[in-house]
Amino acid sequence: MMNIYKANYCKFKSERNDARGNKLILKDSLYSYICPDLYAFCTWLFCGIKDPKGIIPSNYVYNSFYNDKSYEVVDCLRSPHLYVEHGIRKLVKDDELEKCKEWFNDLDTVVSSHDLLCRLLMFDVDGDEILLTPNKTIIECVPDDIVPLYYVPFDPVKLEVNNDVVFQAIVSCMENTQIGDISNVMTKNYNNADTDINFNKIMCCYNNLSIDYPKTQDIVKLGQYEEKYNALKAEKNPYFFIYAKGKSQGVCKKLSNSNADRVCAYIHKRTGNRNYAWKDSGKKFNPSILFNNEDPVKVDVEKYKALEKVMFTLRMKERRLVSSINEAAKEMGRSEGWEKKIVNMMCFIICVEKPS
């Protein structure tokens, strides 16, 4: 019982900390790789169609995870979600769905070749991930007056690949250690009461250019934004970082009224003070505290009794087998180690045989 308690408590504590750190579990949501409409690509490549239609219509996405689900709309999000772009897209249904099932058979998220979702979320299709969620609350809260960011990134430097160039690229990667600082500065800005949304626009661009720095060897200067950047960088972390990033309370602010801190406080209050009663507590353990009542289990007493008889019959059969194999092994003059090995092997083979 105590081992079960420790395992359950550790899992409960881990998931509770994740939730207080704003890592929430959203029903029927998933991370997946982003894939282009390869049907459109193949018709261009093999059929010579200059403007291929493809399978996925504009403003739609496809993921086989939702084939048998009733959802019609999902929110498409990048991770980390630094700015406020939300790609609200419809899920492929009806006639196109059958063609998608034929061409796309995994859990990749296939985007339309007629869609500007890649510009909105600033992704390419070389292994980038996307989060899809049909959560109505999140979708309904998405503002409809947000203008997406757009900026022209630097082009990669075209150089001959040699040892010196490879070495310089590795050095650039090692020097490019500010990416985490930039996202933390943006989070602090969002968490403050006087959020400067224009500042975070610049920071989002700066962060993405910094990520590309090892291959472009070019970066912008912060200029007029450098003072605010350094001030936010020096600020204490938001309260919810205690759980999101394992920070100590001493380097974090007090609980604020920001959205993230309010979620943290709500989870803390709703999941605390659970008086579980265990073996040595003097109380009778009440397992219903841990039940998930969304999917109730129907207990069929007769079936359990029949299963108990089957298990008893199998145990008796195993004992008879072990006894007979032991006797046979002794007659073979094998050592004790060989006897045990033969017993285990024969029991396994006989027990897994299909009944006649």
pLDDT value of position 76: 96
List, for residues 272-299, the tens digit of each pLDDT value.
766 555 555 566 666 666 666 666 667 7
Determine the pLDDT at residue 290.
Answer: 65
In a domain, 5, yes or no: no
> Tell me, what's the pLDDT at 174?
78
- Position 319 in a domain: yes
Q: What is the dihedral of CA 280, 276, 284, 292, to 10 degrees?
A: -140
- Residue 105 is assigned to a structural domain of this protein: yes
Is 123 a domain residue? Answer: yes
Asked if residue 198 is part of any domain, the answer here is no
Q: Does residue 184 form part of some domain? A: no
For 341, the domain range is 301-351
What value does the mean pLDDT take over residues 335-355? Answer: 60
Per cent of the chain over pLDDT 70 is 83
Q: What is the pLDDT of residues 315-343, one digit of tens each?
A: 888 888 888 777 776 766 655 666 666 66
Residues 289-318 have a mean pLDDT of: 79
pLDDT at 292: 66
pLDDT value at position 84?
A: 87
Residue 81 has pLDDT above 90, yes or no: no
Q: Which of 141, 161, 179 is the last residue of a domain?
A: 141
**3-state class of 93 per DSSP?**
coil
Final residue in a domain of this structure, among 141, 174, 199: 141
Q: In this structure, are residues 107 and 65 in contact, taking their beta carbons and an 8 Å threshold?
A: yes
Answer whether 139's CB lies under 8 Å from 26's CB. Answer: no
How does pLDDT run across 154-199, given as a tens digit for each residue?
887 788 889 988 888 888 777 776 778 999 999 999 999 999 999 9
Q: Answer positive or negative: Cα dihedral of 166, 170, 171, 177.
A: positive
CA distances from 217 to 125, 156, 163, 173 (A): 22, 7, 16, 10
Please name the residue that has the structure tokens 């989002």. 204
- Is 323 contained in some domain? yes
Sequence-separated (6 or more) residues with CB below 8 Å from residue 336: none
- 80 cis-preceded (ω within 30 degrees of 0): yes
Question: What's the whole-model pTM score?
Answer: 0.69
Q: What is the mean pLDDT of residues 301-320?
A: 87
The C-alpha atoms of residue 238 and residue 257 are separated, in whole angstroms, by 11
Distance, in Å, from the CA atom of 328 to the CA atom of 56, rounded to the nearest integer, reads 67
- Position 356 confidence tier, pLDDT thresholds 50, 70, 90: very low
Q: What is the DSSP letter of 174?
A: H
- The pLDDT of residue 240: 95
Q: Is 147 helix (H, G, I), strand (E, B) or coil?
A: coil
> pLDDT band at 5, cuts 50/70/90?
low
Which pLDDT does position 66 carry in this prediction? Answer: 95
Asked whether residue 152 is domain-assigned, the answer is no
pLDDT attached to residue 230: 95
Residue 15: pLDDT over 90: no
Residue 72 has pLDDT above 90, yes or no: yes
Output the domain CATH number for residue 126.
Answer: 2.40.40.20
Instruction: Report how many domains make up the chain.
Output: 2
Q: Kindly report which listed range (68-72, 155-159, 220-224, 226-230) carries the lowest average pLDDT score.
A: 155-159
Domain boundary among 87, 109, 141: 141
pLDDT mean across residues, the chain:
84
